[in-house]
Amino acid sequence: MGKSRKRDRPKQRQDLTIGRPPKPPADPETAALRDQKILPVIAALAGPESKKRSEAAIAIANLIEDQRCRKLLLKEQIVRVIMEQTITDSNLEVVVAGWGVLRNLALEEGPDFGLHLYRQDILTPVEAAVRNVCGP
């Protein structure tokens, strides 16, 4: 019998999409909302000042209540930004605000979002946060 070949497939589809910027929305009203509210807040979240980062995370937590803003934030990969930068920040205010964003997203999006967070390995940062609060 002949030997079968392994197909060369990417290990995770996520690796292909991390570097690709999201497409701007076609609807002019949604594009204006993205340019006026979403992009400035995401830029402030990556800023150098911890107070501005904290305020940006709180603003994102409030924007999540609006469905259109929430969908735009998810398209801008806000979950990845929060998990990589915000909840691992050195300032406690920024970390608390980042957890608030994830909490609000989980409340609004439902169980599927919780599964998404589990697949993104949310349990490791949760464990680190619990150790931080309770001590070693």
The pLDDT confidence band at residue 10, using thresholds 50, 70 and 90, is: low
Q: Provide the pLDDT confidence category of residue 16 given band limits of 50, 70 and 90.
A: very low
72-118 pLDDT, tens per residue? 999 999 999 999 999 988 899 999 999 999 999 999 999 999 999 99
pLDDT at 67: 93
Q: What pLDDT is stored for residue 12 in this prediction?
A: 52
Phi-psi region of 25 (alpha: psi -120 to 50; beta: other; left: phi over 0): beta
The per-residue pLDDT for 54 is: 94
